[in-house]
Amino acid sequence: MRTRRTFLGSAAVAVSGVAAGCGGAKSSFRFFTEREARVLDAILAIVIPSDDTPGAREAAVIHYIDRQLTGKFREHRKSYRDALARLDDAVDEKTLVASHKAFFDLVVTHAMQGFYGNPRHGGNRDFASWRMLGIPPVPVRGRDGGRNAKG
């Protein structure tokens, strides 16, 4: 059984560059703080792990959720803030899931939307899930001009 420290530490290296400016003027995040991004990234890596195909990290699922929390998912902001803040109190992964089942269900739903959805919404970077499923990528038109789809 892994400890909370191992669980959270597993994501530290992976997101340190991405989340280094989190919560500041140079942050790549709109909603999450550095700490919140680190914890959520660890959770997302368990929900959609990387193997021989890209997982949640490569598909930028955290950025999808972050972007949606400033718009469509506004009503879930408090749930994310509160649950991510309390996760430090959990001892291990089993306790994490048992104590915060409703939050984890929400994260899984949002992770699936970010992983399988259209890249124009901030996730599915480089059409990761579409390529995995053999769906030919189509040009992305939208707010970000397709920048997310290019990497």
Helix (H/G/I), strand (E/B), else coil: 3 = strand
Question: What does the pLDDT average to over 84-92?
Answer: 72
Residue 98's pLDDT is 67
Top-confidence residue, 31 or 9: 31
Is 0.85 topped by the overall pTM? Answer: no
Question: What does the pLDDT average to over 131-143?
Answer: 78
Residue 14: is its pLDDT beyond 90?
no
How would you label 46-64 residue by residue, b for 16+ Cβ within 10 Å and e otherwise? bbbeeeeebbbbbbbbbbb
Residue 100's pLDDT is 79
Q: Where are the domains of the chain?
A: 4-150
